[in-house]
Structure 1
């Protein structure tokens, strides 16, 4: 394991010139700029010395002076002293002073890395804090690479209030969370990943700010819309060029300065107008350095907007496919799972063949959602059984290892790992983790009470938590013990070593037989074999037909064998005789390949 690189000045290191914040210029001076259109006077305060900033007609307040890197500063606006909304570092938290950062101070080692093709991606989503911060995650990278992962996805790292949070309550999107480590530790982690051949994706939140530390409403209410709301409050006003620029620069900073290989944009259905997303995608494609670099843009989008996937965006998390798989595995039908409970076999077949299940029809709320997606390649969709939301938003944070019999879970994981869609797993899935992953925060006082009680009331309509006394079992998000209990522990798995070996074998199979043949692949068909069983077929680039048959029911189903097809994987191994007889046994998955015109093209 290599140590973090030494920090020193180097003209060869990366930086991104941002419109706002403290930007060190080529002549050694630092330009400070903040957009505060509702006020006439803003002062820059350093060591209790105040410097009046110059206001332009758009409400930008700017001052250029000589200061040293690591200088602490705040803005004085009226009787308030506030951190820089585009702060590059908040060493003492989001309510304290900002710090000037020289982005050129880190010397990169992996300068030959230019990313990897998207169809090579096998993603492990991680929570940086639960992995031990940036340094802890860096130390874990060789193990993750050895599992067969090719990409690591970080839950958001933008600065938030307190020391514990999922990251979706960030308030200073340019500043890496100080409780995870320094900005140099973050860059060292990305650098180490690239040296190991791992891509790194960052989850970013551009749809809202968290509840503590966001001062923008006090001096820039124009940043938000008075006529539109999100589940988290007033919508951000992306129609304003200054607001759009704030987020465009943020995305480019993560990609060009921190060298992330991609961004996953959280809940873009809450970003309006969608023209901003088109502008963002185009700006990233136009300004990624060096030219020819592979950069991935992945969406979470409840609206199932296929048009974005035909443009500059690489893929979307396929929540529809997850939801129907969850219904098939657990039988749960509460909340949004009810939309997938009536015909789960048909829905899974549609997802595997066409991508989205909802392509314009109305959901349980009577709201039409989704676009036709059957023209999109399977690699436009990220397939998963679990992620931070689908585990942590459960009342008790259970993983599927605690909810589902092992045979069905392994069969479903075969589908995820060996489907032509892009697979994503949540940290610990690679060794059968049973540790819960709870929702956690670090708030105090009245807000802590609101979060705790709001969390419990959220599940009052669930059958298992209608009783108020039972809801008290839902862990307090603000308790340190809730966070500590969410850190993955291998001792919670009864067979971590055996499961890990099995999982690595799946990903080796994907790498050996599927990855290089994915570009240009397309779905052919998906036959419903039973209420909980399907048989999907895809055509790969070189002409082979890739097939996966999955049976999550209690009954065997008929699966006539094509004599030209060959079995690549069967789960479990002891159902081969049934398969030879044209039967797909219960709790089984099988992966087959058929070469064009009988040619055996796969070694």
Structure 2
């Protein structure tokens, strides 16, 4: 099988030759630069510039000369061998022959996500290197790999959120065919493949859209990264389609099973339908015949995008990253209360209970961290599978000054308790690469702006400036200890050390992870596929947490003691322990819970 997503822009192979199309509504003159030669383009009334060339071929280098001077890559380039400032390469997507013709994906309820940064996940830092690890991850119990953004970014190392050419998989990781081989191998092993995409901003280097398509942006909706993306003003139809086609491109041409949409709260749309709504509808209408999962990151906690239909299927988006679950856990486990943890530090266990039971801790409540601004919508009507829960991810680890993982911050017994609850609660769990063995390596913030020293300095200074409001970094000497994000060593320190998982204590931690994922597969996944009937939670004055989730035939119950003294809890008859912490007699009806311990039970639904 051959796969191609046809789109109105970029370089497309036709029976008459290669068609080149670029939207440049604010350029006076546009020429196609093809293998070193200029070809003037005629503009239509809508700002499109098109040309069909019989001289171009697969492998041709091309770009666009703007107003007789600046040469830019194709904003819809499929491949950039020479980075963001170089020429684009004509690619034939149909040259790759797929063998996964019967793959239709997997139901969402079976999802166990594993978030990966391709560049630091393996010694090679490539798609091929990651492909060699897939079987190991499958055997662990993972069912889905989620790649951090891979759209072409400046230099050779980046988290991916500084991408500027969202259709070109970054050349640092391999070719488009290498990426397709990774996806195909995952499907052979029964693994889904997800991709993190960024539709809220472009990176600071290599974004040339301002030079020829100023209306791609708008000053009406400023963002932390500058002018907002114009999704609701004049010319916004083309802008919206640019991103809608990008989503479909990854799902169709590369056969990804799901997308994670970064920071959609930063996409401001005053029109109707909202960008978020139309995006989901376009995808669902275009790909109705296989499992496609759409996941939001949305600080606004808008439950409206996650509603289900009468068959319990998502109307629009499948789920949202449950930051409230993470933030509550982190405040509870570490006692940290600065930055956004301020919203959780006053009552971390109450916030944790509510977010485990209902998805959001903030459901229209004022945020202390944001000076009392009300955040969130009621979410208790949604099933637990509408939320992706995690103890760590790239943001929560990498945005720390030193990139420490949770295993570096808290005692092992606390981490084991949190891990068990996280993997056995009915939300969809996600692991951040290396978390399964409590990796010793940090994950730090890194970029590569070696060819742009002024930008490198700005990023370096800005990174250290971010932490000046934190007590630990008010001392300038301490601030200077923060790793330099532009130094290659920062990137290298973040690379996973796979051999350590064969050593203690990582070997034992990995074994526990495998055991918990096995319980999840046998006991939790069947529950999620049944009808959900609601939840409830209670927090005692002694800091015990009692959460129950009711399904059609069974109930799942969490009991945990986060206090400083042992607690006795009377159990109902018929409940069966799926997991119990150390020194807990799960057979007793009068359950004794030592401090920082817990049990997860399964029984008949009331």
Report TM bin, short chain: over 0.9
Q: Which residue of structure 2 lines up, in the alignment, with residue 431 of structure 1?
A: 437
Q: How much has 1:557 moved relative to structure 2? A: 2.7
Is the CA contact (8 Å cut-off) linking 1:579 and 1:585 kept in structure 2? no
> Residue 369 of structure 1 aligns with which residue?
375
Matches within 5 A, 1:213-252: 213-239=206-232, 240-252=236-248
Matched, 1:17 2:27: no
1:504 aligns with 2:500: no
Greater CA drift, 528-537 or 302-311: 528-537
Superposition map of 1:550-561 within 5 A: 550-561=560-571
**Counterpart contact for 2:381–2:534, Cα < 8 Å:** no
Aligned-pair distance for 1:580? 4.9
State yes or no: 1:324 paired with 2:328: yes
Secondary structure (helix, strand or coil) at the match of 1:503 reads helix
The structure-2 alpha-carbon separation of the partners of 1:394 and 1:531, relative to structure 1 and needing over 3 Å to count, comes to: farther
Q: Distance in 1 between matches of 2:186 and 2:94?
A: 20
Residue 413 of structure 1 corresponds to 419
Q: Could you say what the CA RMSD is over the residues aligned between the two structures, in angstroms?
A: 1.4
**Deviation for aligned residue 1:582:** 2.8
In the other structure, the counterpart of 1:197 is 190
Shift of residue 216 of structure 1? 0.5
Distance in 1, Cα, partners of 2:278 & 2:261: 14
- 1:307-363, Cα deviation, whole Å (9 max, x unpaired): 111131000001011101101110100111011111112111111221111111111
> For 1:523 and 1:394, how far apart are their aligned partners in 2?
36
Give the aligned partner of residue 39 of structure 2: 51
* Residue 367 (structure 1) shift: 1.2
Q: Secondary structure at the match of 1:246?
A: helix
The answer (yes or no) to whether the contact 1:19–1:245 under 8 Å persists in 2 is no
Query: Which TM-score applies when normalising by structure 1?
Result: 0.94
Q: Distance in 2 between matches of 1:46 and 1:198?
A: 40
From 175, 178, 181, give the equivalent of 1:182.
175
Q: What do the CA deviations read for 1:460-486 (whole angstroms, capped 9, x no partner)?
A: 111111101001111000111000000
The within-5 A match list for 1:8-157 is 12-25=1-14, 27=15, 29-66=17-54, 67-78=56-67, 79-131=69-121, 132-157=125-150
Gapped regions of structure 1 (runs ≥ 5): 1-11, 598-603
Which residue number corresponds to residue 345 of structure 1? 349
- CA deviation string 1:144-169 (max 9, x = no partner): 11110000000000000000000000
> 2:311: which partner in 1?
none
> What is the alpha-carbon distance in structure 2 between the residues aligned to residue 359 and residue 177 of structure 1?
38
Relative distance call for 1:530 and 1:186 in structure 2 (3 A) is: farther
Is 1:402 equivalent to 2:408 in the alignment?
Answer: yes
Q: Hey, what does 1:545 align to over in structure 2?
A: 555
Equivalent in the alignment of 1:581: 590
Structure 1 residues 279-318: aligned runs within 5 Å: 279-288=278-287, 291-310=288-307, 311-318=315-322
Per-residue CA deviation, residues 514-548 of structure 1 (Å, 9 max, x unaligned), is 1122123243211213564311111124x111111
Cα contact 1:343–1:531 (8 A) shared by 2: no
Q: Aligned equivalents of 2:587 and 2:541: distance in 1?
A: 17
- The reply on whether 1:564 has 2:574 as its aligned counterpart is yes
Q: 2-side partners of 1:111 and 1:551: how far apart?
A: 49
Cα pair distance change 1:554/1:226, threshold 3 Å: same
Structure 2 counterpart of 1:524:
535
State the secondary structure of the residue aligned to 2:570: coil
Q: Are the structure 2 counterparts of residues 460 and 31 from structure 1 closer, same or farther at C-alpha, using a change threshold of 3 Å?
A: same
Q: Distance in 1 between the 2:577 and 2:495 partners?
A: 38
**Does the C-alpha gap of structure 1 residues 596 and 171 become closer, same or farther in structure 2, counting only changes over 3 Å?**
closer
Contact 2:16 2:52 in 1 (8 A): no
- What's the secondary structure of 2:559's corresponding residue? strand
Measured against aligned partners, the alpha-carbon deviations of 1:250-300 in whole angstroms (never above 9, x if no partner) come to 000000000000000000001121701111100000112xx4200000000
Q: 1:55 to 1:383 in 2, by over 3 A?
A: same
- 1:45-69 per-position Cα deviation (integer Å, ceiling 9, x unaligned): 1122111112111101111112211
Q: Does the residue aligned with 2:513 lie in a helix, a strand or coil?
A: helix
Distance, in Å, in 2 between the alignment partners of 1:564 and 1:377 is 24
Distance change (3 Å), C-alpha of 1:578 and 1:584: farther
> Quick check: 1:412–1:550 contact (8 Å CA) kept in 2?
no
Change (3 A) 1:105 1:530: farther
Counterpart mapping for 1:425-504 below 5 A: 425-444=431-450, 445-490=453-498, 494-504=504-514
Report Cα offsets for 1:479-532 as digits up to 9, x if no partner.
110000001114566422211111101000000111122123243211213564
Q: Tell me by how many angstroms 1:596 deviates.
A: 4.7
After superposing the two structures, state which structure 1 stretch, 190-199 or 219-228, moved more: 219-228
Is 1:408–1:552's contact at 8 Å kept on the other side of the alignment?
no
CA contact (8 A) 2:580 2:586 kept: no
CA distance in 2, matches of 1:546, 1:280: 35
Contact 1:125 1:387 in 2 (8 A): yes
Secondary structure of 1:23 counterpart? strand
Contact 1:345 1:530 survives alignment (8 Å): no
State how far apart, in whole Å, the 2-side matches of 1:266 and 1:532 are.
Answer: 35
Deviation string for 1:523-578 (max 9, x for gaps)? 3211213564311111124x111111223333223322112211111122x22279
- Distance in 2 of aligned mates of 1:68 and 1:511: 49
TM-score by length of 2: 0.94
Q: Secondary structure at the match of 1:558?
A: strand
Secondary structure (helix, strand or coil) at the match of 2:58 reads coil
Is there any run of 5+ residues in structure 2 with no aligned partner, and where?
308-314
2:475, 2:49 → 1: CA distance? Answer: 54
Equivalent pairs counted in the alignment come to 581
